[in-house]
Amino acid sequence: MRHLSLSAARALHLAAQGLRAPPRHKASRDAVLATIRRMALLQIDTISVVARSPYFVLWSRLGAFDPAWLDGLLAEGALFEYWAHEACLVPIEDYRLLRHRMLDPAAMGWKYSAEWAARHRTEIEQVLERVKRAGPVRAADFERRDGGGKGWWDWKPEKRHLEVLFTLGRLMVARRQSFQRVYDLAERVLPGWDDRDALSSDAARREMLKMSCRALGLALPAWVADYYRIKRQGSAALLEEFADAGELTAVRVEGWASPAYVHRDHAALLDEAQAGTLASTVTTLLSPFDPVVWDRKRALELFGFDYRIECYTPETKRQYGYFVLPILARGRLVGRLDAKAHRAQRVFEIKSIHLEAGVRPSLRFGADLGRCLRRCADWHGCPQLRISAKDNPLGAVLSIPGP
């Protein structure tokens, strides 16, 4: 069995995720699609204190790019939107992988309410008929009649009807308008689809496990089911089966009791990792919904980084801030910072900076992070970069270039 140091395992993971080296070329539309294909999926979130997560995840890997490219890839059908890890943008060729969830949504948990669907069958069909007759709709196109919402999840009935039809695959997201879903008939968004091309749930599960290993670079059995949110039971046995068939390679990582698995597509990276020549030279900020950190247990086991998003935590109970961005520096997660883009004032504010225990701020790190912050601020259209953090552990080592 192959053996890896923990630092080599981290480097392999980051290389598979597109975080091996800073971008050498200007970002392109094709690179956006290629990056999503490398990760297999791109999680969606609406919080916008900095760029919304799907755009930020791409910026971490590509540098400055035009967000309209991502919007266009969805509108043109190169991507589709559905429940994968959570709500995600997924390459259209993987529609066959998720179609079984639409055909049998009983296992979708809170994402699909069979009781609501049964109780409102007539109204749901009326919404569908409106789309058939009048064309694409947003939830905002339906007037609220019950006095207004009381929170994020207090949706108007028509919004819930649209979500039922979306989860059933009868409607798809044709595009987003001001980040709102625009729904249309599935047969208009994806003409020519035949359900005979869909994978069965068992076949899809097997494929998802292998794709998860490829996207993660290496994976423990306890991690791999989380990527597409599939059942964990039996995953370890399937990974062993794939290894026996030569599709995966089992490796031992220092300090880990269980073997990890590497996809055969990463054979060359595995050779470099084992030889100690694979390293990540990237310093960047990560979205809370970046695949590198969205699994708290994996981030802790792989990086020793205990990360929990706190935007859903009452302000008085937050330890680090509302929307804290992990700091990736040359293969390690070394800290986190709370940032906010004041777009109207063209100011990018750093509200707090926290380094992990044992991280000593060097001049090189201060220069790396300073350049990263400048790139991030400029991409947000905020040339003024303001550090309002009361305690700045970087002190004089943080060197930020001018706009």
Per residue in 218-275, pLDDT (tens digit) is 999 989 999 999 989 999 999 999 999 999 999 999 999 999 999 999 999 999 999 9
Domains by residue range for the chain, with CATH: 2-22+206-275 (1.10.10.10), 29-197 (no CATH), 308-397 (3.40.630)
Q: Residue 154 above 60 pLDDT?
A: no
Q: Are 10 and 256 in contact (CB under 8 A)?
A: no
Write b or e for each residue in 169-186: b if 16 or more Cβ atoms lie within 10 A of its Cβ, otherwise e: bbbbbbbbeeeebbbbbb
Strands 347-355 and 384-387: parallel
- CB-CB neighbours of 93 under 10 Å: 10
Burial of 274 (0-12, 13-18, 19+ CB in 10 A): middle
From CA 117, how far away is CA 111, in angstroms rounded?
Answer: 12
Average pLDDT over residues 40-52: 97
Q: Residue 87 above 60 pLDDT?
A: yes
Per residue in 265-308, pLDDT (tens digit) is 999 999 999 999 999 999 999 999 999 999 999 999 999 999 99
Average pLDDT over residues 121-140: 95
Share of the chain above pLDDT 90, in %: 87
**pLDDT-based confidence at 143, cuts 50/70/90?**
confident
Per residue in 5-28, pLDDT (tens digit) is 999 999 999 999 999 999 999 999
Q: Are 265 and 255 in contact (CB under 8 A)?
A: no
Closest to 257 (Cα-Cα) out of 305, 222, 284 = 222
From CA 384, how far away is CA 232, in angstroms rounded?
Answer: 47
pLDDT at 152: 45
**pLDDT-based confidence at 178, cuts 50/70/90?**
very high
Closest to 294 (Cα-Cα) out of 30, 86, 55, 68 = 86
From CA 381, how far away is CA 50, in angstroms rounded?
Answer: 11
**pLDDT-based confidence at 146, cuts 50/70/90?**
low
Q: Global pTM? A: 0.95
The CA–CA distances, whole Å, from 69 to 72, 76, 285 equal 5, 10, 21
| Residue 253, beta-bridge partner list | 4
Comparison of pLDDT for 110 and 88, the residue scoring more: 88
Average pLDDT over residues 306-326: 91
**Poorest-pLDDT segment among 5-14, 68-77, 151-160, 384-393:** 151-160
**Poorest-pLDDT segment among 190-194, 272-276, 314-318, 335-339:** 314-318
